[in-house]
């Protein structure tokens, strides 16, 4: 059976290099369709397009997306342009349109994570987190959550939910366990995971949507089945914006993806640009 995620990121070719998609109602947060879900739809179109060239580039290695206007649920078109087909890596530009409105423009390099060398000299340390069964999930939320949070299982450690209890943190950090209810993680779905958590500004008690201007994701390894551990940290909050770095660790304790975004700090009624 097809998982919810796979059915919702499905694309259908409508012309050479062009794919139709339907952005699901369930992925809305903060008045727009979630950026990680959009990136998954776009990544799926790129993967589909590259499969016409051969089977050597099934996985995203690096994706950078610029969000130029807020997407709404409904019909969308993904237009792709292959920039270079290489021996191990291929690079594609892709854009999501709704009608004549550009929602998102992106570049991506795809390759095969199954054939990379197996050296690991990572110095980052896996964050400590209470086990999922001791964490708080959406069933524990005191108020109604945005539709997005019904799409996956996200569990917040007890020492990181002060923001929900009127005791916000003074550190721009937020961490959670993540899994899709009906599907194991793979490289493509990490594009969703990279922008699934609430922004670090929420941990600091600043409620509201933090519109992403740019999001870059590096997928470094095929994730193992099971829970993912996700941690977002900001180092630079200034000038009305903040950068947010995301690390995704798999159940073997491997750092399988890193992402960085530049976002606007939340303010009521903020628009993307």
Does residue 79 belong to the site contacting its own copies (CB under 8 A)? no
Report CA-CA distances (Å) from 208 to 42, 114, 205, 241, 263: 26, 39, 9, 14, 12
One of 112, 130, 258, 270 touching its own copies (CB under 8 A): 258
Does residue 183 belong to the site contacting its own copies (CB under 8 A)? no
Our CA angle for 207, 208, 213, nearest 5°, is 130
One of 55, 84, 100, 268 touching its own copies (CB under 8 A): 84
Options 52-60, 71-79, 105-113, 130-138: segment touching its own copies (CB under 8 A) = 105-113
CA 167 from chain centre, in angstroms, equals 27
Dihedral angle computed from the Cα positions of residues 97, 103, 107 and 113, in that order, rounded to the nearest 10 degrees: -90
Nearer to its own copies (CB atom), residue 166 or residue 240: 240
**Do 238 and 34 meet the contact criterion of CB atoms below 8 Å apart?**
no
In the region spanning residues 215 to 254, those forming contacts with its own copies, defined by CB under 8 A, are: 216, 218, 220-221, 234-241, 243, 247, 254
Does residue 77 belong to the site contacting its own copies (CB under 8 A)? no
Nearer to its own copies (CB atom), residue 19 or residue 61: 61
Distance between CA atoms of 127 and 239, rounded to whole angstroms? 29
What is the number of residues in the chain? 273
**Do 26 and 7 meet the contact criterion of CB atoms below 8 Å apart?**
no
Closest distance of CB 212 from its own copies, Å = 10
Which residues are within 8 A (CB) of 112 and not within 5 positions of it... i.e. 6 or more apart?
A: 56, 57, 58, 59, 88
One of 10, 20, 72, 93 touching its own copies (CB under 8 A): 93
Which residues are within 8 A (CB) of 128 and not within 5 positions of it... i.e. 6 or more apart?
A: none
Query: Residue 257's beta-bridge partner residues?
Result: 219, 248
One of 38, 41, 106, 192 touching its own copies (CB under 8 A): 106
Does residue 97 belong to the site contacting its own copies (CB under 8 A)? no
In the region spanning residues 108 to 167, those forming contacts with its own copies, defined by CB under 8 A, are: 109, 113, 116-124
Distance between CA atoms of 28 and 196, rounded to whole angstroms? 11
Nearer to its own copies (CB atom), residue 135 or residue 215: 215
List residues near its own copies by CB under 8 A: 61-62, 64, 66, 68-69, 83-84, 86-89, 91, 93, 102, 105-107, 109, 113, 116-124, 171-172, 213-214, 216, 218, 220-221, 234-241, 243, 247, 254-255, 258, 260, 262, 265, 273
């Amino acid at each position: 059976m097809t998982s919810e995620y796979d059915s919702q990121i499905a694309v259908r070719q409508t012309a050479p290099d062009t794919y139709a998609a339907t952005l699901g109602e369930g992925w809305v947060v903060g008045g727009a369709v979630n950026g990680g879900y959009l990136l998954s739809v776009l990544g799926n179109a790129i993967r589909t397009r590259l499969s016409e060239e051969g089977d050597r580039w099934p996985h995203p290695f690096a994706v950078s997306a610029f969000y130029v206007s807020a997407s709404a649920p409904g019909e969308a078109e993904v237009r792709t342009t292959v920039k270079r087909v290489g021996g191990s890596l291929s690079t594609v530009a892709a854009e999501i349109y709704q009608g004549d409105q550009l929602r998102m423009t992106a570049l991506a390099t795809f390759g095969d994570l199954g054939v990379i060398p197996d050296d690991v000299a990572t110095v980052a340390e896996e964050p400590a987190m209470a086990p999922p069964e001791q964490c708080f999930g959406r069933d524990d939320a005191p108020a109604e959550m945005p539709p997005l949070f019904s799409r996956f299982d996200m569990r917040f450690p007890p020492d990181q939910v002060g923001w929900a209890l009127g005791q916000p943190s003074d550190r721009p950090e937020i961490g959670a366990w993540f899994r899709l209810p009906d599907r194991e993680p793979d490289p493509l779905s990490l594009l969703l995971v990279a922008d699934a958590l609430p922004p670090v500004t929420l941990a600091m008690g600043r409620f509201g949507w933090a519109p992403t201007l740019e999001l870059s994701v590096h997928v470094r390894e095929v994730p193992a089945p099971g829970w993912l551990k996700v941690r977002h940290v900001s180092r630079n909050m200034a000038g009305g914006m903040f950068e947010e770095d995301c690390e995704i660790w798999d159940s073997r304790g491997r750092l399988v993806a890193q992402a960085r975004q530049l976002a606007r700090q939340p303010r009521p009624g903020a628009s993307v640009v």
